[in-house]
Structure 1
Amino acid sequence: MEQELCASSSSYCSLLVEFVTVRCRPFYLPREFTTVFIFGVYIPPSANGKEALCELYGAISELENAHPGGLFIIAGDFNHVNLKSVLQKFHQQVDFATRGVNKLDLVYTNIPGAYRAEPRPHLGYSDHISVMLIPAYRPLIRRSKPVLKQVKTWPAGSISTLQDFFECTDWNMFREAATNGDSINLEEYTTSVTNYIGKCIDDVTVSKTITTRSNQKLWMTAEVRALLKSRDSAFRAGDKTALRTARGKLS
């Protein structure tokens, strides 16, 4: 079980609101999410809704700021309180009554359409029915196709070569070519210099086609992928020294 789910929890209790927070990292999680936070909330019917939401909002927003790529699931008995009044970007998933004709037990997530809620029988002697959440979220990688992009790579020594080009360039010729009498055509001057610099860069760089995916993180560069490959190779080979080195470079 420890290989499938890594979790930690904390709790909060006041006269206005009670909630427990569980942070977990399932074995499989869409790449666009870094972690999962699950809140179990109870707000008493007699509590001041505005003050209760203020306390709950503080805890949730603090974690959102610290983990902007996290998935947040806020579930519980909210009674007369509407969480969307303070967290407008959250989406409520339950669309049926959970206690008599009242819809008290709600589930909010920061991802629209993350789950489909279905009613289930009461647990024990509770007067609230159970709510089952069925995953309905489609990962980004399944919703959009990979995109091919042209990028420039800088081989070893290319920057030095480019500097040599610029040092040997007679930059005054661009100014003279754009001068007519006593006036300088700034647009022509700028365009000619810019085009020349672009031509020099094209001469020292190599263009190649790469594939980008919608769930690809900005920090997942070629260098990071190479380090991950080295780590995996060391792990498969059972080389503890190389594995320790690779993990140190990654961190």
Structure 2
Amino acid sequence: MVRADRDRTLSRKKSTGGLILYVNIKWCNPGHVTVKDTICTPDIELLAVGLRPYYLPREFSHAIVVVVYIPPSANAARACDVIHSTVTRLQTDHPGAFVTINGDFNHAKLPKTLTGFTQYVKCSTRENKILDMMYANVKEAYSSSALPPLGTSDHNLIHLVPTYKPVVRRQPVTTRTVQLWSGEVEERLQDCLQITNWDLFTEDFGEGP
């Protein structure tokens, strides 16, 4: 469990709350979970966490999960600017990382702010609206489907199924032909080695002119 509790002074909100990320210990050792950044403003709450799971496709160095909450009263442009600057810095520091941005975006959207990211939540998350989104810096990575809300929440859960194919599985199959020596050929080679005068390679011919 990784928490980023709300600072009521910075957020200018009277209620408590914040962000939380649960990491399955069967997927990633707790010792390989690192908080990269936390931000709390009236327009956005953000938690960025670096993860080194037991297995990742070799084209990724590690994973960075960015969790956000943008309040309904927030300035969407300022919130997106914060996400843009934070994610850009993380990508500059970790160019080989697999990066996801997910959370409750309400009325904000990222396509004009961050290029190279795909939004994967295609089903409604509250009534007939898509308020909760999940962006990733890899194409064709997930398919999504809605699940019932958790507890008394008014937002649906989203089930994301990985569809990404690692580079090694997308490369064409290479066929190589290896010639095996027969027993007769091996015997001929042994005969050649036995009759070779190996002393010629060890005699001292003296210094040249």
**TM class by smaller structure:** 0.5 to 0.7
Q: 1:42-191, aligned counterparts within 5 Å? A: 42-145=69-172
Q: 1:27-46, aligned counterparts within 5 Å? A: 27-46=54-73
- Could you tell me which residue of structure 1 aligns to residue 46 of structure 2? 19
CA deviation after TM superposition for structure 1 residue 3, in Å: 9.1
Question: Alignment length, in residue pairs?
Answer: 148
- 1:117-162 CA distances to partner (integer Å, 9 max, x unpaired)? 11111011110000111111000000013669xxxxxxxxxxxxxx
Structure 2 unpaired stretches of 5+: 1-24, 176-209
Q: 1:7 aligns with which of 27, 30, 33?
A: 33
- 1:90-122 CA distances to partner (integer Å, 9 max, x unpaired)? 000011110011110000000011111111110
- Could you tell me which residue of structure 1 aligns to residue 202 of structure 2? none
- Could you tell me which residue of structure 2 aligns to residue 239 of structure 1? none
Counterpart residue identity of residue 138, structure 2: I
> CA RMSD for the aligned pairs?
1.8
CA deviation after TM superposition for structure 1 residue 2, in Å: 8.6
Aligned counterparts of 1:52 and 1:138: Cα–Cα separation in 2: 32
Counterpart residue identity of residue 120, structure 2: Q
Aligned-partner SS, 2:95:
coil
Aligned-partner SS, 2:161:
strand
Runs of 4+ in 1 over 3 A off after TM superposition: 1-4
- Tell me the TM-score normalized by structure 1: 0.56
Aligned counterparts of 2:72 and 2:153: Cα–Cα separation in 1: 16
Q: Is the helix fraction higher in 1 or 2? A: 1
CA gap of 1:65–1:116, structure 2 versus 1, over 3 A, is: same
Aligned counterparts of 1:61 and 1:106: Cα–Cα separation in 2: 19
- 1:41-84 CA distances to partner (integer Å, 9 max, x unpaired)? 10011111111111111110000011111101111010111111
CA deviation after TM superposition for structure 1 residue 20, in Å: 1.1
- Tell me the TM-score normalized by structure 2: 0.67
Q: Is the 8 A contact 2:28 2:51 kept in 1?
A: no
